[in-house]
A = this chain, B = another copy of it.
Amino acid sequence: MRLSKLLPFNDARIKISEFQKTSNIEEIDLKEAHNRVLACDVFSYHNSPSFDKSAMDGFAVIAEDTFGASQNNPLKFKVIDSIGAGDFSKKQINNNEAILIATGSPIPSGANAVIMKEFTSINGNDLEIQSQVTPHENISPKSEDIKKGNKVLSRNTYIRPQEIGLIASAGYSKIKVYKKPKIKLLVTGNELVEPSECLKEAEIINSNQFILSSMIESCGADFEYSHIRDEFDETKKAISESSIDFDAIITTGGTALSKGDLVVDACDYLGKIIFHGVSIRPGKPAAFAIVNDCPVFMLSGQPVAAMGQFDMFARKFLMNMQGLDYSDKIVKRKSQVKIPSTVGRTDYVRAVSDDKFTRHVLNRGSGIIRSMVEANSYIIINENNEGIQEGDIIDVLFFNSMNFNR
């Protein structure tokens, strides 16, 4: 244990950021691009719309011909053609002529407005118009959405449904994105067993594998999982091999005092410990190492501490690997409770918050998964703060604001 020299929280974060990596780039089908991050600027091949198009179902006309039209004074037009979706007309509109047009179709030559069908009545090719339209009315002008050659999206943009639509409209069926980080999850602990109805004495269910793998997924990364026993050689071998094949390693547990800090010692043997022990609560024994250029995030075996450490240290790294510039979306809320803390230590307090208020979850033992189930956010108490008074405006970090698709 090297806990005597605890590192301040922000120093630990800065040290990790010095080893930030960026994923390689791959080109994928646009169909697969939802929830990925653009690895290139996107310039449009097209104007969108690529022509002046009708914004309504109706009749293309010369606007000036409709001036003065009303229900009491309907004006007569001759319908000379019709344009369905995906179609266009080769005809030219002259005065008092109209062409039936579908939403989205190109405005025919000569016309400068569309009158909606509900303001007309038709009998064969004879059209009566009962309302006037102004020039350009109900026309979506060419390139109003996108101009050909313009940059429509920047590299490092997270792709939501609307971005995927814009990329498609710009003319791309494939697109360059950052590869998903490949993370090795190593859960250590002889005492850990798979979930089952029956447990032997001293056995503990390995919930960390499920929790941490889900958290890795919530960062947009892929994972492979292994359970390793508390043996130095096995630990060393697993970390060494994973450091070659994966972008990062996340471990839990393996800091059993009676047998030494196995995971930390293995990383020390294989590479360089960047820190071990941070002045935080929960999760003080957090450690970080570099082994064969591979970052190793060493989290506690206690599930709640491991979740906190993941959120504090690993999440930003995994997000930023994919080209994002992740930072915590901290918001201000009014505390409904008094919360003691200690100067010199940063606390991530499990909390229930809404759009105005926040309060901590009562049961705060670091083994208490239930407390994380009850919570939807952290109250963050920084190291200069010796506690929160009821009514204080304080920092809150919502769990869902830390997801990849936030």
Which residues of A are at the interface with B, using a C-beta cutoff of 8 A? 1, 3-4, 30-31, 33-34, 45-46, 48-51, 53, 55, 57-58, 82-88, 100-106, 117-118, 140, 144-146, 152-153, 160-173, 189-192, 194-199, 201-215, 217-218, 230, 253, 255-259, 301-303, 307, 331-332, 355, 363, 365-370, 372-373, 375, 399-400, 403, 405-406
**Bound Cα distance A205, B162 (Å):** 14
Interface centre among A30, A84, A257 (most CB of B within 10 A): A257
Q: Is the CB of A88 within 8 A of B368?
A: no
A214 → B minimal CB distance (Å): 4
A162 CB contact (under 8 Å) in B105, B258, B372: B372
Q: 12 A-B contacts, Cβ less than 8 Å apart?
A: A1-B57, A51-B201, A82-B258, A85-B190, A86-B189, A86-B204, A104-B204, A144-B363, A160-B399, A164-B214, A168-B205, A332-B355
Q: B residues within 8 A CB of A144? A: 363, 365, 367-368
Question: When A51-B202, A204-B49, A255-B57 are in contact, do A84 and B190 touch as well, CB less than 8 Å?
Answer: yes
**Closest 7 pairs (CB-CB, A-B):** A57-B257, A86-B191, A86-B190, A162-B372, A161-B214, A102-B256, A165-B211
A83 CB contact (under 8 Å) in B153, B217, B258: B258
Q: Is the CB of B369 within 8 A of A204?
A: no
Q: Is the CB of A230 within 8 A of B400?
A: no
A366 → B minimal CB distance (Å): 7
Using CB atoms, name the residue of chain B closest to A57: B257
Q: B residues within 8 A CB of A165? A: 207-208, 210-211, 303, 369, 372
Q: Is the CB of B373 within 8 A of A195?
A: no
Q: Is the CB of B173 within 8 A of A195?
A: yes
A370 CB contact (under 8 Å) in B34, B101, B152, B372: B152
Q: Is the CB of A161 within 8 A of B405?
A: no
**Bound Cα distance A337, B194 (Å):** 56
A139 → B minimal CB distance (Å): 10
Q: B residues within 8 A CB of A102? A: 256-259
Q: B residues within 8 A CB of A257? A: 57-58, 100-103, 117
Q: Is the CB of A189 within 8 A of B85?
A: yes
Using CB atoms, name the residue of chain B closest to A106: B202
Q: Is the CB of B259 within 8 A of A84?
A: yes
Q: B residues within 8 A CB of A256? A: 57, 84-85, 102-103
Q: Is the CB of B169 within 8 A of A86?
A: no
A260 → B minimal CB distance (Å): 10
A45 CB contact (under 8 Å) in B197, B208, B253: B197
A103 CB contact (under 8 Å) in B4, B302, B332, B368: B302
Question: When A3-B118, A367-B144 are in contact, do A84 and B258 touch as well, CB less than 8 Å?
Answer: yes
Q: B residues within 8 A CB of A49? A: 204, 367
Q: B residues within 8 A CB of A214? A: 34, 160-161, 164
**Bound Cα distance A46, B207 (Å):** 13
A64 → B minimal CB distance (Å): 23
